[in-house]
């Protein structure tokens, strides 16, 4: 195996370190499987770097050098979580260069990153979401609520800027905290239920399937600190009866299809007495060997290195996305 893959990590957002860890895992997995890999990291300053150092003196120069390298690759694996990565920005760059890319396309990435838009898609296909409303950072005022709420940036990951608000006096501070990450803020009513994640994979032949669901147990809000300090408990497979399992998998596949996802996506739910309630969708979830998605596929007998290789195979498959050409019909 001598095919060439460019793996991109880092990014200019709050998830930089998480993305670097994910990319490091992907690079090592591919090299262990015999792939030729170039590892690129987008610095917090926006400058792209190879393992040898910066690719240019400025941002534009480094992006141009990175694009040239990506153009010579068989596929690009962007493992950049959050803004200017998971939101479709890197996929768009690859699409313009006509380079196969691992994961979801521009549209799925952009919508999946936008929690408000994702809620609208879910509601349109009959999947329940928490009651919520949108607030602009420029309109933060004397917001009111009758029951506890969760405040979150519309487009941010790893729970950065997310707060559980139980006292009305704390709401303004929570809104300003969220506004540090996005000018659009979502206020949602608290949903009481078990936190269950479902990972969906689209294989090279176009089939997609869900790994055994994973349950998250914490003593409070599953916030940024809890996600990475080791205090959260993950149970995979989650203990579910047949009806609960079927409802979760059906909802996950429906969201995957409605957004037009490719590669792998993690769909997060609250499982209530009335069935699943969608929390959010991650089109480029954490990809270290210890992350939730690899844990779920490991429970299905698909190890970390095999999962990574399957994702690249999906990008290279002829059944993948095609770009219409002038004078002809898109296939």
| CATH, range 111-127+191-316 | 3.30.470.20
DSSP 75-123: EEEE---STTTTTTHHHHHHHHTT--BSS--HHHHHHHH-HHHHHHHHH
Residue 321: predicted pLDDT: 44
pLDDT surpassing 70 at residue 71: yes
pLDDT band at 316 (very low <50, low <70, confident <90, very high): very high
H-run or E-run covering 133: strand 132-136
Determine how β-strand 233-235 pairs with β-strand 214-217. antiparallel
Closest by alpha carbon to 73, among 56, 92, 97, 55? 97
Which phi and psi angles does 218 have, rounded to 5°? -140, 165
304-316 and 16-32 are packed helices; what angle lies between their axes, rounded to 10 degrees?
A: 90
pLDDT digits (tens, 9 = 90+) for 21-55: 999 999 999 999 999 999 999 999 999 999 999 99
Q: Is 165 exposed, middle or buried (0-12, 13-18, 19+ CB in 10 A)?
A: buried
H-run or E-run covering 16: helix 16-32
pTM for the complete prediction? 0.88
Contact 82, 12 (CB under 8 A): no
Contact 178, 185 (CB under 8 A): yes
| CATH, range 131-189 | 3.30.1490.20
Give the class (CATH, top level) of 4-101.
alpha beta
H-run or E-run covering 216: strand 214-217
Residue 182: predicted pLDDT: 86
pLDDT digits (tens, 9 = 90+) for 83-141: 888 999 999 999 999 999 999 999 999 999 999 999 999 999 999 999 999 988 888 87
What is the pLDDT averaged over residues 169-193?
Answer: 90
**Domain ranges for the chain:** 4-101, 111-127+191-316, 131-189
């Amino acid at each position: 195996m001598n095919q060439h893959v460019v793996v991109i990590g880092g990014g200019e957002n709050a998830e930089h370190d998480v993305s670097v860890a994910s990319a490091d895992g992907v690079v090592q997995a591919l090299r262990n499987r015999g792939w030729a890999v170039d590892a690129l990291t987008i610095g917090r300053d926006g400058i792209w770097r190879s393992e040898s150092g910066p690719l240019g003196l400025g941002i534009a120069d480094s992006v141009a050098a990175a694009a040239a390298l990506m153009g010579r690759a068989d596929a690009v694996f962007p493992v950049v979580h959050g803004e200017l990565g998971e939101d479709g920005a890197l996929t768009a760059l690859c699409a313009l260069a006509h380079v196969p890319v691992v994961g979801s396309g521009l549209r799925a990435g952009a919508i999946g990153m936008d929690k408000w838009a994702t809620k609208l898609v879910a509601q349109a296909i009959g999947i329940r979401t928490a009651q919520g409303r949108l607030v602009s950072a420029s309109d933060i005022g004397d917001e009111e609520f009758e029951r506890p709420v969760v405040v979150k940036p519309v487009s941010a990951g790893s729970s950065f800027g997310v707060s559980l608000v139980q006292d009305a006096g704390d709401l303004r501070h929570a809104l300003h905290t969220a506004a540090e990450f996005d000018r659009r803020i979502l206020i949602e009513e608290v949903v009481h239920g078990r936190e269950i994640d479902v990972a969906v994979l689209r294989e090279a032949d176009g089939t997609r399937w869900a790994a055994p669901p994973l349950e998250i147990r914490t003593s409070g809000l599953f916030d940024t600190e809890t996600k990475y300090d080791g205090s959260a408990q993950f149970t995979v497979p989650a203990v579910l009866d047949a009806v609960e399992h079927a409802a979760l998998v059906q909802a996950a596949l429906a969201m995957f299809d409605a957004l037009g996802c490719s590669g792998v996506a993690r769909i997060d739910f609250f499982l209530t007495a009335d069935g699943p309630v969608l929390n959010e969708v991650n089109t480029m979830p954490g990809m270290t060997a210890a992350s939730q998605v690899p844990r779920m596929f490991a429970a299905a007998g698909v190890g970390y290195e095999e999962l990574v290789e399957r994702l690249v195979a999906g990008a290279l498959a002829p059944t993948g996305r095609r770009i219409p050409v002038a004078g002809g019909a898109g296939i």
